[in-house]
Amino acid sequence: MTLITAAQLQIFAPRCDFLAVAPALDLACQAHEITTPRRIRHFLAQCHVESQGFTVLEENLSYSVGGLVATWPKRFPTPAAAGPFAHNPQALAEKVYGGRYGNAAAGDGWRYRGRGFTDLTFKANYAAASSWSGLPLVDHPELAAQIGPAAVIAAAYWQLHGLNQVVDADPDEKLIADLSLRIATNEEDDLEQATKVVNGGENGLKARRDQLIRAANIWR
C-alpha cells in the first residue's frame, strides 16, 4: 500500500519535485514504521519546514552583511566583522561550523554543512547518521543532498529517536470534530516534543503547526 503518493505531495508541497520526492518518502516511511496517518503528517510537517517544502536539500550559506549580523549576532556583532564572510559560503562555513562536533580538519565546516530534509550538519552527526542509515556519509557527505538518501536519513532519525511513539495518540484524547482544534488540543505537545528533537529547539513552531494542520487534511 502506498502511504505517500505524488498527488498527495503535490497538494502538500507543490513547489517540490513531487514525482521524485513522493516515492522516496514513501519507501523511507515504510521502512521506518512511519505508517499511520498521524505519524506521517507529523513527520512530513517537520521535514516540510526544515527543507522549505522539500525544495532545499543543501544549506545556502551565501549571506549579506545584514543577514550575517542578524543570524549570528555573537559571531558578527558589527558589519565590519561580517564583511569578509558576506557571500563567501566556504569561509562562512568554516567560521560558524569549524572546530566543533567533529569538524576538526580544515574544510570540515564546508564539507559537512547542512543537507537533507532535516538539515544534517557537522561531521559527528554525519558519522552518527551513517551508523543508523547505512549510508557512507562521512566519506560521501554529498549523498545527504540527494532525494533518496535524504528521505532515508530523515525517516531513520525519526524512528531511532522514538518520534513515532511520541506522536502516537494517547488513550485519553478528546474526540473533537474541528481539525485545527483537535490538533491544538491533542497533538500540540507531540508537535513540541518532535520539534525539539528534530530542530534542537522550538524554531519555527508556528510554521510546523501550520504544516501539521495542512498535512492532517491530506493524511487522515
Break the chain into its structural domains and give their ranges.
6-56+149-216, 65-146
CA distance 46 to 73: 26
116: exposed, middle or buried (Cβ count in 10 Å: 0-12, 13-18, 19+):
buried
Helix axes 18-31, 147-160, angle to 10 degrees: 30
H-assigned helices in 32-75:
37-50, 65-71
* 53 touches 13 (CB < 8 A): yes
Q: Give the pLDDT of residue 181.
A: 85
- 170-180 average pLDDT score: 83
pTM of the predicted model, to two decimals? 0.94
* pLDDT value for 169: 84
Q: Is the pLDDT of residue 124 over 90?
A: yes
CATH number for the domain formed by residue range(s) 65-146: 3.30.20.10
Nearest residue to 198 (alpha-carbon basis) of 153, 149, 166, 158:
158
Side chain identity at 85, as an amino acid letter?
F
Which residue carries 543537507 as its cell? 115
